[in-house]
Amino acid sequence: MSDVGTLERMFGDPWDPANPLGHAAAVAADEREEMFGEGERLLDRFVLNAEFVPVEYGGRLTGLDRLVRMMRPVWRRDPCLGLGYGASSFIASVNVWTAGSDEQRRAFARMMLANRKIASVYHELAHGNDFARAEFAATPGPPGTLLLNGRKEVVTNAKRADSLVVFARTSPEEGSRSHSQLFVHKEDLPPGRMTDLPRFRSMGMRGVQLGGLLFEDCPAPADAVLGAPGRGMETALRSFQLTRTALPSMMVGVLDTGLRTAIRFTSGRALYGRTAADIPQVRATLAEAFADLLVCDAFGTVAARAVHLLPGETSVYASLVKYMVSKLLIEAMDRLSLVLGAQFYIREGEHAVFQKLLRDLAVIGFGHAARVACLATVLPQVPQLARRSWPAAAEPPADLFRPDAELPPLPFDALTAAASGRESLSTGPGALLDEHGADPDVRRLAEVFARELAALRDEALALRPRDLGVAATPEALAVPARLAAVLAASACLGVWRHAGDPFLKDPAWVVAALTRLTARIGTGDGRLPAPLAERLLSETLTRYADGRAFDLAGGPIPG
């Protein structure tokens, strides 16, 4: 069996101090700045890598939303495992499935299924997210070879990976056709031409081996190129649509543990003669964190399903999920840290996992694409979206919002670097207003977001071409940022309308979710009124007591 429940059970109760796979062990590994060894061995046994390999290549990858759910137990316990064991290979893999030849895909699958590691080698410190200026070069060498020259820095698993997917300049010309991605096996490289740079230490993700590589006239087989030469940039942008969607959504597991830690802390703690969980301010913070978690999951899940169902639209969703979800998660953890008080600051004892999660999340929040870069990716598409899709586009298929509905296979070849001005998710609030008998609170909030979309349309149409590039003003960048909130609200509305589960069918959570999101569009402070907060908190505490996850699926978890 290889479902989420099995993986959860194999990990066991994270709060049991004697569990070698629990929080105490993960924190101890972090203190040693090492990967969580027991965790890695477990994931080897589980062959987690199979989750990154499509079924036709022998793996278990059937859908992006399933993949996200499978990764949550890992992120719930240790983000270093999530990144250093999981996501790093996933990022590399996507480029191979998107652009690789059949032979390259088979080779990749073989390695993955044998529990090997493959590093995704993009980053150069001097250029950050500006991939177009990457200097690392692959130039023609002796017949049949490419010569690699340059440095790559802050690369996850650079040292311990067996193979690399490398982003390299293959033409000195400026622009977007000057790079290629290379799938290189270390064993094919002659000794002495590729050296490891010293490890980069970081304040979070301390266990992850962030390394670097220096190539000096290092020959690599010419057929290492993934896809047509010069297409590297496009491949990267297409791959980002999967990684930017899936990674932040996996990290919802981090907030699950953060919230669980805060509840555990408050219910055991006497303060002023009562437990901290009795204090209304604390109750509101817990309820709001739960609402934020549901927003993150709804937006992430819908965007993941959109990759299957609406591949032409996902370039918009993916970047905005990354922008919105990473911010919501970091802020929710920050507020929860106030509940823990001084306890949050301590690196030992049963709540020590919290400060580790906070540091890990801070690092990944800045990860492979900073949040402004995500907005800048969407901004140029915004005027077209306004002209072609707002507010009259047809509604998306209902299966987009039904996590249990079957999905068509991942259409790697149908992903496009930029959507052609189409986007249908934002129809959510408008469609709800056309329905009769909707809950009045939901209607009121749907109206807020429908009005916001109309305002965004006007502002988008007024944007001038020079507002759309690197000189974009903060006001212009605010348009995709606010669009992210409208899309997240739409995702929540969609999940609610199509839900079968009693809690998800109830308007309470969607009213809470949309209320939280009003703060993102400047129409409210996002705080939940006390009765609504109590309603959500009661669900949170029930799930906590019953051992169920806080996400939409709410599946059983140990501990």
**Which residues are near other proteins by CB under 8 A?**
31, 123, 125, 127-130, 133, 154, 200-204, 269-273, 278-281, 283-285, 334, 337-338, 341-348, 355, 358-359, 362-363, 366, 370-372, 470-475, 477, 519, 522-525, 527, 530, 533
The least distance separating other proteins from the CB of residue 275, rounded to whole angstroms, comes to 12
Helix axes 530-546, 280-309, angle to 10 degrees: 70
Nearer to other proteins (CB atom), residue 18 or residue 342: 342
Number of alpha carbons in the 13 Å side-chain half-sphere of residue 4: 21
For residue 178, give both structure tokens.
């000057």
The CB-of-264 to other proteins minimum distance in angstroms stands at: 14
Is 166 within 8 Å of 184 (Cβ atoms)?
A: yes
Q: How far apart are the first and last CA of the chain?
A: 21
Is the Cβ of residue 273 or residue 465 nearer to other proteins in the bound state?
273
The set of residues, in sequence order, having a beta carbon less than 8 Å from that of 133 and lying 6+ positions away, is 127
Q: How far apart are CA 499 and CA 508, in angstroms?
A: 13
Q: How far is the CB of 202 from other proteins (least distance, A)?
A: 5
In whole angstroms, give the CA distance from residue 351 to residue 353. 5
For other proteins, the closer CB: 281 or 542: 281
DSSP for 367-435, written as a single string: SSS-HHHHHHHHGGGHHHHHHHTTTTPPPPPGGGG-TTS--PPP-GGG--SS--S---GGGHHHHHHHS
Instruction: Report the residue number, 280 or 408, with the smaller CB distance to other proteins.
Output: 280
Tell me the β-bridge partners of 221: 145
Distances in whole angstroms, Cα of residue 539 to Cα of each of 50, 329, 333, 508: 34, 20, 19, 10
Q: Quickly list DSSP for 43-79.
A: HHHHTGGGGGSBGGGTS-B--HHHHHHHHHHHHHH-H
* Shortest spacing between CB 249 and other proteins, in angstroms: 21
Nearer of residues 32 and 106 to other proteins, judged by Cβ: 32
Shortest distance, position 364 Cβ to other proteins, whole Å: 10
DSSP 312: G
Q: Would you say 184 or 532 has its CB closer to other proteins?
A: 532
Please report how close the Cβ of residue 227 comes to other proteins at its closest, in angstroms: 25
The nearest distance, CB 340 to other proteins, in angstroms, is 9
Minimal CA–CA distance to 61: which of 50, 70, 72? Answer: 50
Residue type (1 letter), 159: K
105 vs 457, beta carbon nearer other proteins: 457
Element (H, E) at 149: strand 145-156
- Angle at CA of residue 534, ends 530 and 540, nearest 5°: 140
Task: Compare residues 158 and 184 and give the one whose CB is closer to other proteins.
Answer: 158
Contact 95, 131 (CB under 8 A): no
Q: To the nearest whole angstrom, how small is the minimum distance from the Cβ of residue 154 to other proteins?
A: 6
Least gap, CB of 201 to other proteins (angstroms): 5
Q: CB-wise, 190 or 280, nearer to other proteins?
A: 280
Task: Give whichever of 201 and 436 is closer to other proteins, judged by the CB atom.
Answer: 201
Q: How far is the CB of 158 from other proteins (least distance, A)?
A: 15
